[in-house]
Amino acid sequence: MQAAFKYVTTLRENSLLDEVEHLEVHLYGSLSATGVGHATDHAIIMGLMGERPSTIDPSIIEPAIQALKESQSLALGRQKEVTFVWESDLYFHEESLPHHPNAMKLAAFTHQGDLVYENTYYSVGGGFVVEQAQVDMPLDDLGGVTLPYNFDTADQLLALCKKEQLSVSRLMLENEKVWRTEEEVRDELWRIWQVMCECIDNGLTHEGILPGGLKVKRRAKLLHQRLQAAEQNECLIASTFSAMEWVNIFALAVNEENAAGGRMVTAPTNGAAGIIPAVLHYYMKFQPNACEKNVVDFFAGGRRHWHSL
């Protein structure tokens, strides 16, 4: 969805939207092999329609896809109706492109079939999207920015913390201030936490069968109800014996929302996205006096790979 949104933005910024009459989507490698099961095809189409992961209402996806299949018309960037035939304009290629196995190519054509614009994108994990032009340029992770505390290994990080008398989270916040103010960092981390909480709450509320054809039932809500009842009966509140059960249920709630196409945060990865919110949610739920500072400290300590969120 991020890549497709970037593609439409480029069309708009270059005044090319009016020329487009037809679109093609090409998926390669792993992105192709898992495309249907991971709803990658749906995500790309919604991105072409001008939607973004952080703002889309997930409930509109299925109706929008169904309407597209019936009408064979796509509202490109919410501005221009273009032809898109699901069965013939969406390609799943077995081969992988050289740079990365998660690759897609998006191409727009005029009514006469002339190419208007195409670009190749790579989904490299954690929400990061790399365009072909970036791949072809020399790698420069920091874009010329000098960090006050740069490191490449955990040993170097701990040595810096000891030398500067800083916690891991404080050191990472100081690095983040190269790009944005501390208030902006804290506000964004808190926003990410709110998305995680919403995801857990939805996972503990929703029932039914997960999409995908395997008829897998959602379990998080029932398991949550059972654990609540057991703790009430035994007068236990998040004891050592039940701690892992709580964490597991919170993680399962996120994973089921992920499988259902709901909004979640890809941290540390899409596949393991239930772990971080589950651990923090347990702490915030059961630790007396837990507060916003704890959330920021928790996230800042692992912030090195979070710039895309």
DSSP state string for 159-188 = HHHHHHT--HHHHHHHHHTTTS-HHHHHHH
**Band of residue 307 on the pLDDT scale cut at 50, 70, 90:** very low
pLDDT of 252? 96
Q: How far is the C-alpha of 295 from the C-alpha of 292, rounded, in Å? A: 5
Going from the N-terminus, what domains does the chain have, and what CATH number goes with each?
2-135 (3.30.1330.90), 180-305 (no CATH)
**Band of residue 239 on the pLDDT scale cut at 50, 70, 90:** low
Which three-class secondary structure state does DSSP give residue 61?
helix
pLDDT of 81? 95
Report the alpha-carbon angle 130-270-180, nearest 5. 55
Q: Is 78 exposed, middle or buried (0-12, 13-18, 19+ CB in 10 A)?
A: exposed
pTM of the model: 0.79
pLDDT of 302? 66
Over residues 248-261, mean pLDDT: 94
The candidate with the shortest Cα–Cα distance to 255, out of 171, 180, 188, 199, is 199
pLDDT digits (tens, 9 = 90+) for 149-192: 999 999 999 999 999 999 999 999 999 999 999 999 999 999 99
Q: Is the pLDDT of residue 124 over 90?
A: no
